[in-house]
Every structure is written in C-alpha cells, then in structure tokens.
Amino acid sequence: MESPTAIPEAVTDLRDLIVQPPRLRTNFDSVLFTRAHPIDDAALSDPILGALCGMLRRHLVQDTNAVGLAAPQLGYPLRVIAVRPNARAGVTVVVNPRVIATTADVATEWEQCLSCPGARVQVERARHIQVEAAESTREGYTATRVVTEYSGFLARVIQHEVDHLDGVTLLVRAGAEGVKAAQRTITWAAEQTEGARVFLEQMEQRA
Ligand SMILES: [Zn+2]
C-alpha cells in the first residue's frame, strides 16, 4: 500500500481501481489510511466515473442520517466525495476537490463518521472555505476547474470528507482519544494490520 504522505499520480484508467463491489470500510481498513488518487482530466468523462458518483450518491441516501461519504470509504482510493448540507437535502458529488483557501475563523464541533462506528470527536475546522474542483455539467465532469465557497456545516462536512481523501480518519483527529478508541475496537485481522500500523504512525507524528 501507499504511504499517506506519498504524492499520488492521477488515475487514467478507473477500471484498475474499481474492480470490486462497494463495501463500507471501517476502523483500520488500509484504504482509509491511503492518500487517494486524483482523477486524470482524460478520465473525467469516463462512464465508470459516472457509475462511481451514482454509487456514492446511493450509499449516502441509503444512510438516512449521513451527510457525507468519500470514495475510499467504499474501498476506492479516488478523490471523489458526496456531500449534502443536511440529511433531507439533495446530494452533490465533488470530483478532485482541493481546499484552496480557509478563513482564520474556526469552530469546534462534534463529528461522527460512518467508517469509525461509535467514535464521537470534537474537531476544529474553518467556518468558511474555498474549494476548487472539476466542473460538473449535465453530461458529466470536465477538465475546467471551478471554485465554490462553502460556509458553516457544509464547509465542515467537506473538510471531513477531504480528510478521508488524505488518509486521515476521525480517529486520527481524535488524538489520544483516538488511540483509546483504537485499543477498544482494533481487530488485528490480517487485512487490517497495515491500516492499524499507518494509524499508529500518524499518531506518533502528531504526538
Ligand atoms: Zn468520515
């Protein structure tokens, strides 16, 4: 697996990465600790990307209380997120999001995550952000970059989901509390050991 600090190359062939059915990844699944790949301009019009966006949208709507989901949470290390401002609102799918500006104005609020069941963590986030992403059109996404401003709760949701794209889960944001949660929930199943190792490395770097 790739270390979270490695600079990922843009993915040109989505078939390589979307080879298994989506499954909600939780706790120490290594994909949650991987830095996700941007989607190359040439792949933005690929119908497979459309399918992935539809998949994220459906999974988010299925979970009546959820407001955000990132592609790595379904097992795909790609920079695509689905968000909505509340559990009844329509879903927006954002491809290749990049937070390009944040205000110094911050707020600390409780957050939860589908991938960290049972964890409830206070996280400081900027109240206002500017996000650059691939332009969304009726036909799909294009190489044109658009900048959108977000405030309040939706700005928080987007920052949480972009954390997922950078391999940072709520347990990492939780600091010492995250380690305690880890000790309670960790299962050293073979496929999860790599994620657990990266998690503990991230915690050491932050200590
Ligand atoms: Zn999450």
Instruction: Please give the model's pTM, rounded to 2 decimal places.
Output: 0.84
The mean pLDDT of the chain is 85
Grouping H, G, I as helix, E, B as strand and the rest as coil, residue 129 is strand
Give Dmax (Cα) for the chain. Answer: 47
Condensed to tens digits (0 to 9), the pLDDT of residues 131-147 reads: 999 999 988 899 999 99
Q: Is the pLDDT of residue 2 over 50?
A: no
Condensed to tens digits (0 to 9), the pLDDT of residues 35-76 reads: 999 999 989 988 889 989 999 999 999 988 899 999 999 999
**Extents of the domains making up the chain:** 14-206
- Ligand 1 centroid to Cα of residue 111, in Å, is 9
Higher pLDDT residue, 103 or 185? 103
- Residues by chain with Cβ below 5 Å of ion ligand 1: 113
Q: Is the pLDDT of residue 179 over 50?
A: yes
The dotted CATH code for 14-206 is 3.90.45.10
Residue bearing tokens 């960290």: 116
- Ligand 1 centroid to Cα of residue 9, in Å, is 23
